[in-house]
Structure 1
């Protein structure tokens, strides 16, 4: 069996999705983050796994489906994102000596079937890796978690995913690869994902806070939506919301 860990930050205005501001206000960005997190948690809740863990920076809220009893909630540990990812893997594996699949809160369009596929891959691979379109990764699974597989991997860079994949292969691990997904970092990303997955809570929240942008999504207009939106790159590992 496999367990799934979601690493996330409590969606508090000014602390999450800061690259969405502007064009969004901090409150709107937090609303989008909460919707993305709830979509992610509901997909995990519907996935065929025995154990579900939420590694949280902050406190649980109404966005936790089924209440606190539906997930084992643990506090994040560490300073840098590499340390927090390594700790989340280690803490989950300490709770249940089973393979661990870890995702972040930036892929509200993830599905239970994708998560099932990732878990199944660990039956005959040492690791499973889900690349993100921005050069990071949206999913990482390890059959036998080891902090050395993550510590020191440079995070929040366009080569984060490539560096993580090199680390896995340098350790001699067999790696299964998942489909590439977009994750939500910028306003362009938000527009694109709301159009790709219109039935999600994230898309509904996006339509509520950005009606002009969501109208553009219907025609496929995903560029030039706001001055400064999407400036920079900054790939993340496992979408631990910024």
Structure 2
């Protein structure tokens, strides 16, 4: 019991691009315009940040490509993404977490799962449930992953797990799971979620969380004349 009470709260990370037209959610165009796709990206990011704000944490870091805007809620520290491919940027995000809270676990999600519920993370990240877990892995329906967490993050471990993993392919998740297994980490699997990449994904995700900002924005946009039926 004493060890549970002394366990440090986790660091939560969101890696994201600022919702700028032409730079985010380009696979949503068509049917949406670049500005509409950016609106949807902003709504997804806002939903994600507000949900994670309700998950108990010691620190919350937004690892951002671009500039923060009025969509950024209080309580988030903004750190800049490094250069290079997504594998390098993910590893560098964990390095930021390790430097700021070296004894705390860290869990990272992207901006593509606005249907994420706080309970999906708060229960497995709780101090009572963490003993015996080395990593958390959230599979995405497209073969990728929507979440990765490390109980004892270090820059070296993050690089070992993520560098040169092929990103944005149907085999990305399997490649990461193989790295986790080779590192002999005990992995807690989180529920599978759908990333918002295409218009079909957007409709599916909005149906799963109809009360969110993302779903509301999608409803507004699908009645706009610019959007093809």
The normalised TM-score by structure 1 is: 0.84
Residue 186 of structure 1: CA displacement? Answer: 0.5
Q: Distance in 1 between matches of 2:118 and 2:168?
A: 26
The answer to whether the 8 A contact 1:52-1:71 is kept is yes
State which drifts further: 93-102 or 122-131.
Answer: 122-131
Provide runs of 4+ in structure 1 moved above 6 Å: none
Alignment partner, residue 167 of structure 2: 155
For the pair 1:51 / 2:56, whether they are aligned, the reply is: no
Identify which of 200, 204, 208 aligns with 1:192: 204
Aligned residues: 212
| 2:16 aligned residue | 8
1:139-150 correspondence to structure 2 within 5 Å:
139-145=147-153, 146=157, 147-150=159-162
Q: Is the 8 A contact 1:135 1:160 kept in 2?
A: yes
DSSP 3-state at the match of 1:46: coil
Q: Does 1:167 align with 2:172?
A: no
The aligned counterpart of 1:177 is 189
Give the SS at the match of 2:137.
Answer: strand
1:111 aligns with 2:117: yes
Per-residue deviation, residues 178-235 of structure 1 (Å, max 9, x unmatched): 01011101000001111111100000010111138xxxxxxxxxxxx979xxxxxxxx
Contact 1:6 1:53 in 2 (8 A): yes
Partner residue of 1:73 out of 78, 92, 102 = 78
Cα contact 1:122–1:141 (8 A) shared by 2: no
Partner of 2:40: 32
Q: Look up the match of 1:91.
A: 96
Q: Does 1:17 align with 2:22?
A: no
Q: Specify whether residues 226 and 124 from structure 1 end up closer, same or farther in structure 2 by C-alpha distance, changes over 3 A only.
A: farther
SS in 2 for 1:31: helix
Give unpaired runs (5+ residues) of structure 2: 1-8
2:212 and 2:204 mapped to 1: Cα distance?
A: 13
SS at match of 1:119: coil
- Rounded Cα–Cα distance in structure 2 between residues aligned with 1:123 and 1:77: 32
Name the TM-score, length of structure 2 as normaliser: 0.89
1:202 aligns with 2:214: yes
Structure 1 match to 2:49 = 41
Instruction: Kindly report the root-mean-square deviation, in angstroms, between the aligned alpha carbons of the 2 structures.
Output: 1.6
Cα deviation for residue 8 of structure 1 reads: 0.4
* Deviation (angstroms), 1:122: 3.9
Change (3 A) 1:202 1:168: same
Distance 1:203 1:106, change over 3 A: same
Equivalent residue for 1:128, pick from 124, 133, 136: 136
